[in-house]
Structure 1
Amino acid sequence: MRIAVYVPLLLSLLAPLGARPLSERCEPRLATWLLTASSLILGTASTISLGLLAITGLIRLPFLAGLGHWSASGARSADPAELSIALVAGLLLGGALLTAARMLWRRARTLAAAALDAACMPTRDGLVVVADEAADAYALPGLPGRIVVSTGMLDALHESEHEILLAHERAHLTAHHYAFVALAQLGAAANPLLRPFATAVTYTIERWADESAAAGTGDRKRVARAVGRAALAAHHRPALARVTDAALGILGRRGPLGLRALGRRGPLATAGPVPRRVAALLAPPLGRHPVLTAVTAAVLAAATLASAEAAHDLHVLLEAVGAW
């Protein structure tokens, strides 16, 4: 196998370094798409690379080589890759496939449970108010989805901020943010090196919903105050238990934990998700950042082309050992 088969693995090691800059400097909607695509494409490409390397080891075994009418000795002579590399790749491939399958199964069960829970919440306008002193609010995906808000959260916010809360949660439902989270997590399940992408997506979908609420109300500062007030309320009261892991809310998937950095005096780079969201709302809206977009597109194109080239190399190798 040539160098192309190792390119996706190398990119999976380096590309996650750009997850944080992409989430902080690029418009949230575009950043979410780019981060999700990066996790999914690099996860797929690296898995393909592991599979191709594993195959080069399998065809060196006389029994398996005989099934494909290949020459095991020819494979050992024609392929410069070490057998140990192929064996390690096979073990990593097995782990990646198992982890991805488990993640898909758990995600499918979660979404099914969310849809069932949403169907059991009768409401005309999609809003469900729960009598609970705990401050919490979240969007529950379903057919259709539901917005669940506790009375504690409504009491914690000013009446004028209720529309901001609802606009934020509606953005989660209408943009299908749970799908972006699931796809990003799938890529990270196949390749743990890509976890920064999945983590960044859980942040950018909240920023996306924040910006949707700001666009709907026309007041970014008021949205920033609502986000901060909601986080403070949840910080001082036990959060209402999420119905399922698919729920997305104004507090983010990490809930009040992101508030810990509000009292810090250090740079914003060390702050949690909520302080960074508030700071972003108090600043002018972010642009599309063409440089970051172009670099991300180039990385994904390189991974895709390298996978295709590596598959072609394997095809040539199999033809060669078949005629050995």
Structure 2
Amino acid sequence: MDLDQYVPLVAPVSAALAARPLAWRLPPRAATWLLTAGAAIMGLATVCCLVLLTSGGLLHISWIAALADMAPGELPRSPETNVPMATVAGVLLVVSLAMATRAALVQVRGLRSSARAARNLPGRDVVAIVEDDQVDAYALPGRPGRVVVSTGMLELLTPIEQGALLAHERSHLSARHHLFRGVTAVAVAANPLLWPLRDAVVFSTERWADEFAARTIGDRTHLARAIGKASLAGPSGRLAEGAGGMSIIGGTRRPRLRRDPRPGPVPRRVMALMRPRRVRRSAIFLALLTIAVPTFTATQQVGEAAQELHGQVEFAQEQAPTR
């Protein structure tokens, strides 16, 4: 049995296993682009693979074969035209498209809600200060986008830490981090094997904003302190992702029932600020091995499967009696 045709369905496994290390080892901007592009291409390859598998099985149905000007029963038996596999692929295709469509709609609704909230905020400045004792700060994508900061957050931070906070949130808007997160969310919905990439992209975009803020204020220590203070005092359940508000404490989660020895997103961000890491060749090799190569292979296999199915259809059409 030829297993090459199933490569696009399982290729995301390597990306999923390497998502967290890559988000940590690569420069955040490069990691964001790499993980988002890999997720988008692999998600699309998954859908294309399922479409081909489903189509090959449907062509065995006599009336569909007639619509394609094929001779009934002349389509060669092959992995591309396996009827049982086509049935399974058809079910998976419907589920994948439904989940991806739902995720896309969620992102669109989130963007519209964010833009509406940004327009309704008082004032015209990019930064909107709201009277609220709760420690909170986040970016609202829109036209234009707005940065929302609570008075509780401002009271918690020193002036230089406030500058770091605002630079961080402005970076989310200027770099359009919500688009990276939204694309990844749709890709993960299309192929759930990609799910670790979603958290990895959230982390890498937060790191991207951290590095921008650190360069803006010229002080990594004060930014690290601001992140730590906001994380300890802010809402514990906030996870900024997709099209919603992106917070300086984005990436925090509710405590898990089991003990996880690995540090969470916020400690890793603080660690990266206090101890900048050099990009090593091993990180680049890991990126090529787990993202670039599987992505290229999955795309190539989809193309080869499409060519093979096309050739079989042409053969069956040639066997059809002339009218």
TM-score by length of 1: 0.89
1:278 has 2:270 as partner: yes
Seen in structure 2, the aligned counterparts of structure 1 residues 35 and 153 have a Cα distance that, compared at 3 Å, is same
1:274 Cα shift? 0.9
Instruction: State the secondary structure of the residue aligned to 2:54.
Output: helix
Match of 2:195 in 1: 195
Distance 2:227 2:138 in 1: 13
1:245 Cα shift? 5.2
CA contact (8 A) 1:56 1:75 kept: no
Q: Which amino acid aligns with 2:17?
A: L
Seen in structure 2, the aligned counterparts of structure 1 residues 197 and 122 have a Cα distance that, compared at 3 Å, is same
Match of 2:285 in 1: 291
Match of 2:249 in 1: 251
CA contact (8 A) 2:141 2:173 kept: yes
- Counterpart mapping for 1:142-157 below 5 A: 142-157=142-157
Match of 2:37 in 1: 37
Q: Which amino acid aligns with 1:41?
A: I
Distance 2:56 2:77 in 1: 11
Higher helix share: 1
CA contact (8 A) 1:45 1:307 kept: yes
Residue-by-residue CA offset, 1:235-268 (whole Å, 9 max, x unaligned): 58x97x99x952111010x45x37x59xx9x75x
- Counterpart mapping for 1:60-139 below 5 A: 60-75=60-75, 77=77, 82-139=82-139
User: Pairwise CA RMSD of aligned residues?
Assistant: 2.4
Q: Which amino acid aligns with 1:95?
A: V
Instruction: State the secondary structure of the residue aligned to 1:139.
Output: strand
Distance 1:221 1:48 in 2: 47
1:322 Cα shift? 1.6
1:122 Cα shift? 4.0
Runs in 1 of length 4+ with deviation above 6 angstroms?
none
Q: Which amino acid aligns with 1:24?
A: W
Distance 1:223 1:72 in 2: 69
Distance 1:184 1:13 in 2: 15
Instruction: State the secondary structure of the residue aligned to 1:75.
Output: coil
CA contact (8 A) 1:19 1:197 kept: yes
1:315 has 2:310 as partner: yes
Match of 1:141 in 2: 141
Match of 1:300 in 2: 295
1:69 Cα shift? 1.7
Q: Which runs of 5+ in 2 are unaligned?
A: none
Match of 1:183 in 2: 183
Residue-by-residue CA offset, 1:185-228 (whole Å, 9 max, x unaligned): 11111111111111211111111111111111222222111100
1:138 Cα shift? 0.2
> Quick check: 48-57 or 62-71, which moved more?
62-71
1:159 Cα shift? 2.2
Residue-by-residue CA offset, 1:151-174 (whole Å, 9 max, x unaligned): 111111122200000000000000
Size of the alignment, in residue pairs?
313
Q: Which amino acid aligns with 2:185?
A: Q
